Structure 1
């Protein structure tokens, strides 16, 4: 595990973007695992700018996203497909057919979970997976549990996650109660993991996840067992982790 301390959010975003850019440069037809939420927006801004400047070429890249709300279609402005298209895909020269997000409109959880796992395998696996971390330690939508979910599945969102995400909706009542998400096993099969964390409000969970006991009650703690993981955080987020 490599922990890189950034000065602030902007510095964290540039450093994370540089890691992803290096992957694209070394392997132009790589498979990027991507994440949503407020934390990676700065990283996506950097990637889009570098593509615009001609520094990066995404024409042969494929992407797979961690998760999607169940019940939201691609046109819904709160869907993660919409988020990714707005913040990254529409701003880079990637083939839309090579961008993949779980199908939130599939009513059969078993069918969609199996389809998404087979899709990832058909692409040859994920070269590098970008991750954020929730206040309760969730990664993707893998919530605190008594066990680690292995594969893509449909999950009931916790009240903490619903509360954290309600700022994106008109009210908490509009936040979907379920989502499709890659499982912990799916995430851990990525060849590399890149975790980004920002803000003083993430300091406690960052310390627990990166330095504490590995347990399913803190899902992100599992990354301690991955052979190639890089954590990039700003000073506030990493303030409770020893140098």
Structure 2
């Protein structure tokens, strides 16, 4: 696991965008996207790179991690709308190549299985962007999730719903269920890139990077993956015991290639 500490959130976002840019330039054509607040700086810088540096998403297949159950795709806080608003509408990503579960499918469990098959048919995701929740979740794999889990229907914890209430009118408006890629599904990506910023993420980052591998902190499963880059700002790194030894600059490397 490569841990990269940047001075602030803006630098962290630019660093992750640079990793994505290099990956696409070197031929990665399957990209995993996350929503939430953590990747927003990444997406802003990717849009800038598209406008000014020739970064192209032409031919890229993009897969979202999750979607709320019960929200129509047109709802402002559906992840379908968020990813379009924050990234897809600002780059040359073909809308037909943006894939995510349907939050209004009549049978959410069947929809989860369909999306899992869609991922398998596309082959491994070349680079997967991840955020982390204050309770250590990635995707919407809440604490207690099986480390071998696949795409499925999940119930959100009250902590997660409270954290996401800022995007809605209040916690009562936050859906209780999601379809999310499982931890094992996420782990099949060739390169996992996690971004976390702010002091409220420090405890979760420390548990994921330096704590035991445990379902109590789902993100700790990243320790078992052969190619992970964790990019954090100084505040999110504040509880890392080994922070003095981590890198200050990240580089993309193809799967299997050592630094």
State if a TM-score over 0.5 links the two structures. Answer: yes
* Matched-pair contact (CA < 8 Å) for 2:147–2:218: yes
Other-structure match for 1:8 = 8
Task: State the secondary structure of the residue aligned to 2:214.
Answer: coil
TM-score normalised per structure 1: 0.97
* Matched-pair contact (CA < 8 Å) for 1:125–1:190: yes
Aligned equivalents of 2:173 and 2:42: distance in 1?
Answer: 28
Aligned equivalents of 1:32 and 1:191: distance in 2?
Answer: 10
Aligned equivalents of 1:107 and 1:5: distance in 2?
Answer: 44
Give yes or no for the alignment of 1:193 onto 2:213.
no
Give yes or no for the alignment of 1:227 onto 2:226.
yes
**Within-5 A mapping of 1:114-129:** 114-129=113-128
CA deviation digits over 1:90-129, x for unaligned, max 9?
A: 0001110000111111121221111101111121121111
Other-structure match for 2:103 = 104
Give unmatched runs, 5+ long, in structure 2: 245-259
Extract structure 1 runs of 4+ deviating beyond 4 A.
none
Other-structure match for 1:113 = 112
* Matched-pair contact (CA < 8 Å) for 2:146–2:183: no
TM-score normalised per structure 2: 0.91
Moved more, 145-154 or 81-90: 145-154
Other-structure match for 2:66 = 67
The alignment of Structure 1 onto Structure 2 pairs a total of residues equal to 242
For the aligned residue pairs, the C-alpha RMSD in angstroms reads: 1.0
Give unmatched runs, 5+ long, in structure 1: none
Other-structure match for 1:155 = 154
CA deviation digits over 1:59-90, x for unaligned, max 9?
A: 11110010000011110001000000000000
Aligned-pair distance for 1:148?
Answer: 2.5
* Matched-pair contact (CA < 8 Å) for 1:131–1:139: yes
Aligned equivalents of 1:98 and 1:189: distance in 2?
Answer: 20
